[in-house]
A and B are shown apart, each in its own frame.
Chain A
């Protein structure tokens, strides 16, 4: 079992603020890093899959970076909106093709 850690556990921000959170994972045997958004009463939705050290991906106001050598990824949200409120999950993939999930960061954007 891989130890994937996310911080902070929860976060409250004002509408319009930018925010970021962290996913830490073991750097050995790394294959890929996934980010998912999980809104209440919906299914988790894939945001990014990242594989290369130094990778940066962007989807609208959300972006992510990856450092495989030191074992971390950052997720950034620019100008947070109430609809960004969700739990953000990261998962690290090992050679066995299994995803090991962190416990998530629960984001609440206050209007």
Chain B
């Protein structure tokens, strides 16, 4: 079974802090994704990565950056956290082809005060 592990279930940070959300997958998947989920909106893609050191912007990349130094690990970075980044963040991984399902972590509920 694929396991996608996110480092924290709940996180509280202050405005202006640099925040790191970590995600690790154990199935050697090429693709990794970061989404955020807000009430009334679908999952929105922030960034994704097809391979080590590769990254592509999703629909809402502003205020975020990512890092993929190893295949199994994909980090989301909030450079200077703001209150409008309070949200549920989900990491996912998948094999390359579009007919392969994504496997999600349990999510991190991040609150920025």
Q: Which residues of A contact B (CB under 8 A)?
A: 1, 4, 31-32, 34, 36, 42-46, 49, 51, 89, 91, 93, 97-104
Q: With the chains together, A99 CA to B100 CA distance in Å?
A: 11
Q: Is the CB of B106 within 8 A of A42?
A: yes
Q: Is the CB of B45 within 8 A of A99?
A: yes
Q: Is the CB of A43 within 8 A of B42?
A: no
Quote the shortest CB–CB distance from B20 to chain A (angstroms): 20
Question: Quick check: is B113 within 8 A (CB to CB) of the other chain?
Answer: no
Q: With the chains together, A97 CA to B32 CA distance in Å?
A: 12
8 other A-B residue contacts (CB within 8 Å) besides A4-B42, A44-B90, A101-B44: A32-B99, A43-B105, A44-B43, A51-B98, A93-B98, A99-B43, A99-B45, A100-B42
Which of the four size classes fits the interface of chain B? 20 to 34
Quote the shortest CB–CB distance from A93 to chain B (angstroms): 4
B14-50 contacts to A, CB under 8 A, are 31, 33, 35, 40-45, 48
Nearest residue in A to B96 (C-beta to C-beta)?
Answer: A97
Q: Is the CB of A49 within 8 A of B101?
A: yes
Q: Is the CB of B4 within 8 A of A43?
A: yes
Q: Which residues of B contact A (CB under 8 A)?
A: 4, 31, 33, 35, 40-45, 48, 58-59, 90, 96, 98-107
> Given A89-B42, A98-B48, A103-B42, A34–B105 Cβ distance below 8 Å?
no
Q: Is the CB of A43 within 8 A of B98?
A: no
Q: Is the CB of A46 within 8 A of B103?
A: yes
Residues of chain A contacted by B31 (CB below 8 angstroms): 97
Residues of chain B contacted by A103 (CB below 8 angstroms): 40-42
Residues of chain A contacted by B59 (CB below 8 angstroms): 1
> Given A32-B99, A44-B90, A102–B104 Cβ distance below 8 Å?
no
Quote the shortest CB–CB distance from B105 to chain A (angstroms): 6
Q: Top 7 nearest A-B pairs by Cβ distance? A: A46-B101, A101-B42, A43-B104, A101-B43, A31-B98, A93-B98, A44-B104
